[in-house]
Amino acid sequence: MFIDSHAHYNASAFDTDREAVLLSLPENGIDAVINIGDNLAASRECLRMAEAFPFVYAAIGVHPESAGEVTSEALRHLEELAAHEKAVAIGEIGLDYYYDDVPRDVQRTAFRQQLILAKRLDMPVVVHDRDAHGDCLQILKEEGITNGVMHCFSGSVEFMREVVRLGLHIALGGVVTYKNARHIIDVAREVPLDRLLLETDCPYLSPVPNRGKRNSSLNLPYTAEKIAEIRGIDIGTLAVLTTENTRRLFNL
Ligand code: NI
């Protein structure tokens, strides 16, 4: 039994069969899903899905690529949405210096404001960090964030240790199964097992053997199998540990 700690079932890739995919999860060993908002509209949509499916939970937040959306009015809306009983985190929020479509200072301000909101509401954060490790870590430290997860972790072992030292968790997904994933495999080997979460980031980043196809939580066992192999533990033990970590972090 697994929990997918990061999914985007509101994505248009699921428009034709969203309900069928979600309904198939429990019978296929997926116990729960955290559906992650990446803008205000998507966050509302995530809550609607969480209301419809008992095993679906929602994270409320604005992704760095929509950071321009984070006005004071938007922050008030986010706060209202976060009060919902199935809203379990603020996210995904963070910095993305890879695409760089949104000015970095706009991203940093939106990130900071949403961290402050999470702290005030005493909710964990789901952090997106792409090519922005230094700034991400600095802002998390400055805002005193000690509760959350760095999703689709892409840093070094040394950076992972710094993130863990803050108190945060590390989520690994399909990338760990890719041939060119050398340093993520090192992270998978070294991450403390009480800080590890599993995720798909579906519909993106399908693990091998389904790389390139639409991802769903049904692929989570491929990622788990690879990490269990790297750690030299059985997949059942990994499932129990990561499920416990996810339930504890998000208070499920
Ligand atoms: Ni995501």
**Residue 60 CA to ligand 1 centre (angstroms):** 12
* Model pLDDT, residue 180: 87
Cβ contacts of 137-145, under 8 Å, gap ≥ 24: 137/162, 137/163, 137/166, 139/95, 139/108, 139/111, 139/112, 139/115, 140/115, 140/166, 140/168, 141/166, 142/112, 143/112, 143/115, 143/116, 143/119, 144/119, 145/115, 145/118, 145/119
- Residue 216: give the domain boundaries: 2-250
> What is d(CA 129, CA 95) in angstroms, rounded to the nearest whole number?
5
Q: Which two tokens stand for residue 6?
A: 């990061």
* Model pLDDT, residue 173: 97
CB atoms within 5 A of ion ligand 1 belong to: 201
* Model pLDDT, residue 99: 86
> What is d(CA 182, CA 172) in angstroms, rounded to the nearest whole number?
13
**Residue 180 CA to ligand 1 centre (angstroms):** 21
The band of 3, judged by pLDDT with boundaries at 50, 70 and 90, is very high
Q: What is the largest CA-CA distance in the chain?
A: 49
The structural domain count of the chain equals: 1
What is the arithmetic mean of pLDDT over 29-49? 97
- How confident is the model over 122-139, as pLDDT tens digits? 999 999 999 999 999 999
The band of 117, judged by pLDDT with boundaries at 50, 70 and 90, is very high
**Residue 6 CA to ligand 1 centre (angstroms):** 6
What is the arithmetic mean of pLDDT over 173-194? 96
Residue 21 belongs to domain with CATH number: 3.20.20.140
Using an 8 Å Cβ cutoff, are 176 and 223 in contact?
yes
Percent of the chain with pLDDT over 70: 100
* Model pLDDT, residue 100: 81
| pLDDT at 192 exceeding the cut of 90 | yes
| pLDDT at 160 exceeding the cut of 90 | yes
pTM of the model: 0.97
> What is d(CA 107, CA 148) in angstroms, rounded to the nearest whole number?
19
**Residue 216 CA to ligand 1 centre (angstroms):** 12
**Residue 4 CA to ligand 1 centre (angstroms):** 12
* Model pLDDT, residue 191: 98
What is the arithmetic mean of pLDDT over 7-18? 97
The band of 83, judged by pLDDT with boundaries at 50, 70 and 90, is very high
- How confident is the model over 197-233, as pLDDT tens digits? 999 999 999 999 999 999 999 999 999 999 999 999 9
pLDDT averaged over every residue in the chain:
97
